[in-house]
Chain A
C-alpha cells in the first residue's frame, strides 16, 4: 500500500486529469511538465507534447529539468525552430491546451509574471512573459497551476502579462483573442473555474484535507463558491506509482 498522496501529487494529478487523450499540449516546466508526462503515461497515451523550445511529440525518458532539456529532443517526433513553434503551432491554432502559472492571478484569471509594483520602478522584478502571453492568447484553452496564497490571488494584478478574461464578461471576445482563455485553476487547496457569464473565478472543488475557509482566507477578494462544492478525486494507486517510480517526481506544491 503506497503512502498517502502529498499536496504536490494531488495538484499534479488534478491538472493531468484535465487533459484528454489525443490532445496537443504546450508544456512548461514545473508541475505542468510533470502533469503532462503523468497524463501521457496514464489516461492519455496519445497526448502530443510540444515544448516552446521546439521539441514536437516529445517522449522524454527522464523528467526534463529545463524547458530545453536534451531528453526532450532524443526520441521526439520532430524538432522545429522557435519561430515555427509560435507561428505554425500556437498561432495556427494547433495547440489544444497551454499551461500557465504566475506570481499573481486575479478574479478574471489574468496573470502577472512581470513585476510587483510599478513597471518603471518595480518592487520585485519577475522573469517576464517568456511564452506565457502568447499561450494565454492563442492556445485553445489554458490551465493555470499555482499555489493558493493571498498575496498571489489578488483583486487586480499589478501587470497583465497574460490575459485571462480581462475585466470579465465578453471583454476577451471583444478584443478578438483567438483562444478561449483559462478553463481552470488548480491550486494546492482545490480547483477553481470561471462563471460562464461574468467570467469570475469560482471554487468548484476542494482537495482532501483542505477547507473552504482556507480557500476564502487565501483569496484577496470575496471568492464565490460553487454549490454543491465538489471534492477532488484523490490520485489513484496507478497515478501515484507512475509519479513516484517512473517520473521520480518529488516537487513541492509552491
Chain B
C-alpha cells in the first residue's frame, strides 16, 4: 500500500492556498464546531469580496463583516443566539457600514436542501415548505415546482456549490479522514457540495485510530484538501468532548460589537494583535481551563466479525 499523503499544514498556509478573494466560502458548524480560528486568519490575511455562507452567521460572520471581508451573505438566521441581534450584520444591512451587504436568504430547511442538492450533484431539491411565506417573494431563487408524478405543486431551492468549505472537527488523520461526534449540523453536506475542503481539527490522530472506528468518519480524506491542527480553534463556540461553549463571551459580544469602535478594538487585540490561534490560546489560558470538558466516555464498540 502506498504511504498516505499528508495534507497537514498551518492555518496560514491553508487559508492562503485554498481561499481566494471573491470566493464563495462556507464556514459551517451549527452552534458546535464553528471555525473561528480560520475566520480570524482570513481577516488577518485581508480576504475581500467573499460570499459567506452559513445557516447562522453568528459572531463569526459578524466579525468578518466588520472586518470588511464580505460582499454577500447566504444564510437563514442572523442573530446572537439567546442574546440579541448581530450588530455588525445589522449595521451593514440597515446603514451599509462598513459597506453594503447583499443578502440571499432562506430558512434552515432551505439551506440544508441547497447543500444536499450540491452534495448530490442535483440542480435543486424539492420541499413541502414555503407555501404562504413571503420568503419566495424576497428571494426569487425559491420557486414553485410541479411534481411530475402527481401534479402536486411544491417548492424548490437551487443547489449550492461553494468554492470552499471550512469545517472544524474533533479529529482527523493526516490524510483528512475526519471524525465528528455530537451535533453534526450540515458538515457532511457542505464537504460534498464544496469544490475544495479545509478541515480544522482539535487533534491529528494516527490513521489506525480513525480506521478502528470508521462509523464516526463524516468526511473521507479524499474529499479533503487541507488538514489543520488547531486546538481551541472553535472558541468561543464549542467542541463536544473538548471544551464547552463560552456563553459569557457570546453575552459580552453584545457590548463589544454594539459600536463600530468597540468591535474594532476587539479585532485589533484578538485577531490582528495575535499571530495565530496558538497566541490567542496563550492569551486566554484561564478561559481554556474554565471551559475544559469533563470526561463523559461511552463504551467502545466491537467491529469484530
Contacts and interface: CB of A to CB of B under 8 A. Distances in A.
A159 B134 contact: yes
B31 A68 contact: yes
A29 B240 contact: no
Contacts, number: 173
B93 A122 contact: yes
B183 A124 contact: no
Nearest to A166: B132
- The B contact surface, by secondary structure, is loop
Interface in B176-198: 181-189
In which size bucket is the chain B interface? 35 or more
Contacts of A166: 132
Given A91-B127, A159-B138, A160-B134, A128 B185 contact: no
B247 A81 contact: no
A79 B182 contact: yes
A55 interface: yes
In which size bucket is the chain A interface? 35 or more
B90 interface: yes
- The A contact surface, by secondary structure, is loop
Contacts of A160: 132-134
A71 to B, nearest CB: 9
B107 to A, nearest CB: 4
Interface in A115-168: 119, 122-134, 136-138, 159-163, 166
Interface in B96-155: 105-109, 112-113, 115-116, 127-135, 137-138, 152-153
Interface stretch (A40-48, A170-178, A203-211, A222-230): A170-178
B77 interface: yes
A235 interface: no
Interface stretch (A9-17, A82-90, A194-202, A241-249): A82-90
A128 B106 CA distance: 8
Given A66-B245, A67-B81, A137 B129 contact: yes
A159 to B, nearest CB: 5
A130 B77 contact: yes
A57 interface: no
Which A-B residue pairs are the 7 nearest by beta carbons? A68-B31, A163-B132, A130-B77, A127-B79, A129-B107, A83-B112, A86-B109
Interface of B: 30-32, 55-56, 75-79, 81-82, 85-86, 89-90, 93-94, 105-109, 112-113, 115-116, 127-135, 137-138, 152-153, 181-189, 238, 240, 244-245, 247, 250, 293, 296
Interface of A: 29-30, 52-55, 65-70, 72-74, 79-83, 86-87, 90-91, 114, 119, 122-134, 136-138, 159-163, 166, 171-172, 175-178
5 contacts: A79-B183, A91-B129, A125-B89, A130-B107, A137-B132
